[in-house]
Amino acid sequence: MTLKQLAEVTQINTHRRKMWMQLISFLAIPVLSNKFSYAYFGGGFVSNKPHPGDIDVVLETEDAYGPEAFAAVSRFFVIGLEQIEALYGVDLHFWMRDAPEGLSDYRNFFQYDKRSKKVSVLSPTRGIVRLDLREPELLCQLRCYLRDEPFEKSGVES
């Protein structure tokens, strides 16, 4: 999914537009670090819930399980996961390729279909949305959303 598509399906009211701006502000951190390949979004934010309490995010490290991947996630622990949730409304988790068995993989947890009347805004079942953080135009798109400007590529609005 693209950032524009995610914006279109999640900004359905004032509360969600505020959450969107918090998310955009947060995403600049992993995008600028160049240490993460994907961001996954789950929970109420990708449902039809009008007032979700937070945005569930899993960042997947560019590097496989090991020192480089731990270095990438450590800056978030220095900031503090509680502080990140307070500032950005993001309930943050991480995933690393080749992680040993027994570690929680929230990408799978977010797809677990709880028998619920909540319906995803993206599909009739509970699920997650994946955003490629390596997309060349993503940083430009983030800047445009923060400035409330249309994103243009080659002179044509996307």
* Domain regions of the chain by residue span: 3-157
* Mean pLDDT of the 86-102 span: 93
Residue of higher predicted confidence among 64 and 154: 64
Mean pLDDT of all residues belonging to the chain = 84
pLDDT at 88 over 80: yes
pTM here is 0.83
Confidence of residue 151 (pLDDT cuts 50, 70, 90): low
Based on DSSP, count helices (H) and strands (E) in the chain, helices before strands.
6, 6
Mean pLDDT of the region 1-28 = 90
Q: With contact defined as beta carbons under 8 Å apart, do 113 and 42 qualify?
A: no
Q: Which of 77-86, 91-100, 109-118 has the lowest mean pLDDT?
A: 109-118
What is the average pLDDT across 62-87?
96
Helical H segments across the chain, by residue range = 3-10, 14-33, 67-79, 81-88, 106-109, 138-147
Q: Is the pLDDT of residue 155 over 70?
A: no
